[in-house]
Amino acid sequence: MRGAFDHILHWRLLPGSHAFPGPDGGTCINEAAIVAAGLPYRAIRSSADCPPCFSRPLAAYALGLNDAMPDAERPRLMAFVLRLSGSADAEAMEAARTAHLTVETVRRLLPIVLHQVGLTAEAESCRAAGSLAEAVAAARSAAWAAGAVADAAARGGVWVRGARAAAACRAATFAAEIDARSAADAAEAAALFSPAVWPEAVAILDEALRLGRQAPPLALETARERMVAARAGA
């Protein structure tokens, strides 16, 4: 699927915001989604820069992944270029999306990190979190435990273990925030431990996009024509 979207849209996703159309004809994911939807191009440096029809938490999470992913992983996001415009919903649904991003980050990404630094009990607590409150509490506890391991390792001169535990603490600290961009930052920190984090983070984005209002169907060929025309016009 990644290859199909890449080939049909003839677009390259790049980290950061770009002067349109960006080097090699690319932009970040939200800028690409704007062009694909037929809206006037605008530079996107945060989700607040997106048009009102974009879900703010979904745009923030997608932007965070876009900027953090290695080049080889970023094409996983191409399918979402067609799904962001028109996804904005009522405040309660946007809160539910943010909660989903937070809970699933704690349940599915943090255990990958915590197991690798020997915090098995904390990993299981994160995996078992059944609500937003439980997920936040589990992530905070994991951050404290990882920080303690990092401090002890530093005092003992075990630098590699200390660095890994500090990275785990950072991931858990981000995950404990009820914030879409922080959830993406947690994924970035967790990916230092395993590349398997990236497809899981993309799956979490897909699930959040399936909550609430869906973007109007947009044909690939229509999106391609708009992106080619916009690039030519630029």
Task: For residues 208 and 230, state if they share a domain.
Answer: no
Structure token digits, residue 88: 């904005």
Task: For residues 134 and 184, state if they share a domain.
Answer: yes
22 or 108: which carries more pLDDT confidence?
A: 108
Report the alpha-carbon distance of residue 149 to residue 66 in Å, rounded.
31
Structure token digits, residue 139: 């992530």
**Packing angle between helix 29-36 and helix 220-233, nearest 10 degrees?**
100
Task: For residues 171 and 201, state if they share a domain.
Answer: yes
Q: Are the beta carbons of 58 and 87 closer than 8 angstroms?
A: yes
Whole-number pLDDT of residue 1: 42
Task: For residues 113 and 164, state if they share a domain.
Answer: yes
pLDDT digits (tens, 9 = 90+) for 173-196: 999 999 999 999 999 999 999 999
Task: For residues 83 and 101, state if they share a domain.
Answer: no
Structural domain including 175 reads 95-212
Task: For residues 181 and 144, state if they share a domain.
Answer: yes
How does DSSP classify residue 154?
Answer: H
Whole-number pLDDT of residue 17: 59
Domain count along the chain: 2
**Alpha helices per DSSP H over 10-158:** 29-36, 56-68, 91-104, 110-116, 120-127, 132-155
Task: For residues 144 and 196, state if they share a domain.
Answer: yes
Query: What does residue 85 show for φ and ψ, rounded to 5 degrees?
Result: -70, 125
Structure token digits, residue 35: 């062009």
What's the average model confidence in pLDDT over 137-154? 93
